[in-house]
Structure 1
Amino acid sequence: MKLRLLLLLLLAVISGCVDEVQLPARSVASRLVVEGLVTNEKPPYTVKLTLTGEYNSLIYGQNEIPVNGATVSITEIGGRTVTLSQDALTPAYYWMYDSTFVGQSGKSYQLKIILPGGETYISEPELLNPVSEIDRIYAEYRPRADAEVYIPDHYQILLDTKDPASAGNYYRWSGYGYVPRLSTGEPIGFGFCCKWCWVPVYGSRSEVLSDVLVNGNSISRRPIMLSPVYYVGRHYIEVRQYSLTKSAYQFWVKFEEQRKRTGSLFDPLPASIEGNVHREDDANVLALGYFGSSGVSTRRLTIPGDTLNAARMEIKYGDVFVEDGNCQLIYNQGQLNPPANW
């Protein structure tokens, strides 16, 4: 009993010595965010304009606010200027549809934004560099670990390409695809419909590489994305290889570093990175995001999936990846038919 009383007294003394520390809430004002790209592919090109919502670290929230009513144009340095049109349904997006305005290697492009209040932003001229062709893309099957019950098997999508002999080449890769999924279906008449559909999957947009260590050599088995195996059926994959300027490469490196942060009290606020867009009358006032120009090489792949056995997969997975209802409605952007002309 005496020992217990002594312990209680000690705890009371310790707790009385702790002062409460009031940490100030970190907050930042709303800022312009720009995402846009001109390529050597035919238009349309898009520019996305948003404002960051008021960020408060105690609330831990940050929302995108579309920029409505801006005047947006793209200029080919020494050439034409084209004006973009705002999307009526998704007002954050501005579109350039002029089929005669196509990005060309060796040309530089500049974005200009006049906000509704008259404030004007411009980007630094961005050189469109040529890009190597993708030699091939291919898939390798990777089963999940036994303990990973809620993670499906997947295909690892890999890429081979050849870096030119000239130094100073920078790459970015992105990938997306459609994979089959299964649901319980929707009752109709005496049966069920819509039990199978294809859903989109996406890889990272910030897979980048400098040729400092590989100049003039082959880039082999570069991992691009994972294509999850939820059910048997074909996978449809598209991989895009972009050329980058050095400044664009540095932007995407910072973007990826921030994306991988685990987050702590002392980390920077989780917002986009400052890029190459600034206020026209004050180059020190920077927007977030980046306006770039890139050469693009594209490859598509169809994975047959014919070596997978439906009965075995159902035993392995159970109903972990099967949702109730109409497949195209319960899975985001689900479609009953595979993509056409793949």
Structure 2
Amino acid sequence: MRYFYSLSFLLLSLVFNSCVEEVQLPPRSVESRLVVEGLVTNEAPPYSIKLTYTGVYNSLLYGQQEIPVNGAAVSITEVGGRTVQLQQDPITPFFYWQRDPTFVGTVGKSYQLTVELTDGTRYVSDPEPLHEVPPIDRLYAEYRPRPNDDFSNPDQYEVLLDTQDPDTPGNFYRWSGYGYVPRFSTGEPRGFAGKCCQYCFYPIYGSGSDVQSDALINGKAISRRPVHASPIYYPGQHFIEIRQYSLSQKAYQFWVRFEEQRKRTGSLFDPLPASIEGNLHSENDPTRLALGYFGASAVSTRRMIIPGDTLTVGRIEIKYGTEFVKDGNCQRVYSQGQLLAPENWLK
């Protein structure tokens, strides 16, 4: 009987070993490309343009992160009007700035970006029209508890928006939001004064790629449109700002593709994500496109303060425990934390 079991084990081992064959996957790589991010608005300057190169990506060995574009000659032209030169930021070289206060985006005008690299290659954007945008009529927030099976995120306030789409068809919108929310830490000892710096305000940023077309709602009210989520880590006021942008049709299509890519999940065997090419091309080779997008937009901005008293300290301690409490000085352990609440937020 022992011989029978030994022979059976040997046969099974041979079968499994013969079925397993190591597969050598070829490395997948993508060359570095120029990436452009920025826009002109009808608000007063400064305007920033972010210029980077993508790192060389390799599926078996991760590439570098984004690389700043140094020494480029960058300009913005109002079609039929002025051209202004941008200056590279000496401290944060990813950014080039337009600070001339007399050059302001105007509704009805179109704008072009030109980038000349140090090797002489020139990229030029398609003319981008600056369309009007309706005002934000109302902002309000509603409490949303986290799902019972979600222990990695806190409850949140969902920020909703009302606005009125014009009667003319072909309007496209993008929303971005940010704010400051209260956070709590263990603090740090301060001699006889006990602990300090346990409470601070932490910045929260939305995705910035939330877009909508008026194809199905032309001329109607846009009501209860979710535009931002503000997490509840601790009781206290939430300071929220929402920006509503107008978009051209091309810009809308770009942001739709961008959001699809952002939400995508996959595995090692998926194809590489498709490059999201924008509206800049090489002047000598129109088929050579940059990534990213240079836009022009009117902006409507509105702020609000959420009271932040839905959950008390006791309820938060019962619900979260110390799940979202870090050790140390609040403004240091939470990136960009500040000890004081923003002043004059609604002015």
Q: TM-score range by the shorter chain?
A: over 0.9
Q: State how 1:239-258 maps to structure 2 within 5 Å.
A: 239-258=242-261
1:189 to 171, 188, 191: 191
Q: Give the AA of the match of 1:90.
A: T
| Residue 234 of structure 2 corresponds to residue 213 of structure 1 | no
Per-residue CA deviation, residues 18-49 of structure 1 (Å, 9 max, x unaligned), is 44332211101111000010011111000000
Match of 2:340 among 322, 330, 337: 337
CA RMSD of aligned residues (A): 1.5
Q: Deviations over 1:131-165 (max 9, x none)?
A: 11111111001122333333211101111111111
Counterpart contact for 1:72–1:84, Cα < 8 Å: yes
Partner of 1:138: 140
Q: Distance in 2 between matches of 1:268 and 1:108?
A: 37
Pair 1:150–1:265, CA change in 2 (3 A): closer
Query: How far off is 1:11 after superposition?
Result: 3.7
Query: For residues 164-243 of structure 1, what are the structure 2 equivalents within 5 Å?
Result: 164-190=166-192, 191-243=194-246
Counterpart of 1:92 in structure 2 is 94
Measured after TM superposition, the shift of residue 256 of structure 1 is: 0.6
Q: Measure the CA separation in 2 of the matches of 1:20 and 1:6.
A: 25
Tell me if structure 1 keeps the 8 A contact 2:244–2:299. yes
Offset, 1:119: 1.1
Aligned 1:143-154 pairs, distance under 5 A:
143-154=145-156
Give the % identical residues.
Answer: 67
Question: What is the aligned partner in structure 2 of residue 298 from structure 1?
Answer: 301
**1:318 corresponds to:** 321
Equivalent position amino acid for 1:340 in 2: E
Partner of 2:164: 162
Report which stretch shifted further, 314-323 or 232-241. 314-323
Which residue identity lines up with residue 239 of structure 2 in the other structure?
Answer: Y
CA contact (8 A) 1:272 1:289 kept: no
Q: Give the drift of 1:324.
A: 0.5
Q: Indicate whether 1:285 and 2:292 are aligned.
A: no
* Secondary structure in structure 2 of the residue aligned to 1:184: coil
Q: 5+ unaligned residues in a row in structure 2: which ranges?
A: none
Q: 1:101 maps to what in 2? A: 103
- Tell me how far apart the structure 2 counterparts of residues 272 and 334 of structure 1 sit (CA, whole Å): 35
Q: Could you report, residue by residue, the CA deviation over 1:91-134 in whole angstroms, capped at 9, with x for unpaired residues? A: 01001001111101110000001111211111111000111111
Name the CA shift for 1:173/1:271 in 2 (closer, same or farther; >3 Å): same
Shift of 1:316: 2.2
Cα distance between partner residues in 1 of 2:29 and 2:231: 38
Equivalent position to 2:8, from 2, 6, 9: 6
TM superposition score normalised by structure 1: 0.96
> What is the aligned length?
342
Kept in 2: contact 1:251–1:273 (CA 8 A): yes
User: What amino acid is the match of 2:33?
Assistant: R
Q: Report if aligned partners of 1:119, 1:279 keep a CA contact under 8 Å in 2.
A: yes
Match of 1:309 in 2: 312
Runs (4 or more) in structure 1 with deviation over 4 Å come to none
Distance 1:59 1:8 in 2: 39
- 1:121 is matched with which residue: 113, 120, 123? 123
- Per-residue CA deviation, residues 27-81 of structure 1 (Å, 9 max, x unaligned), is 0111100001001111100000000111001123441000111110000000000
Aligned 8 A contact 2:143 2:310 in 1? no
State the Cα deviation string for residues 257-307 of structure 1 (Å, max 9, x = none): 111111234544347511001111111000010000011111101001234
Partner of 1:28: 30
Go from structure 1 to structure 2 and tell me whether the alpha carbon gap of 1:211 and 1:22 turns closer, same or farther (over 3 Å shift): same
Structure 2 CA distance for partners of 1:189 and 1:271, relative to 1, 3 Å? farther
Which amino acid counterpart does residue 221 of structure 2 have in structure 1?
S
Query: Could you say which residue in structure 2 is the equivalent of 1:47?
Result: 49
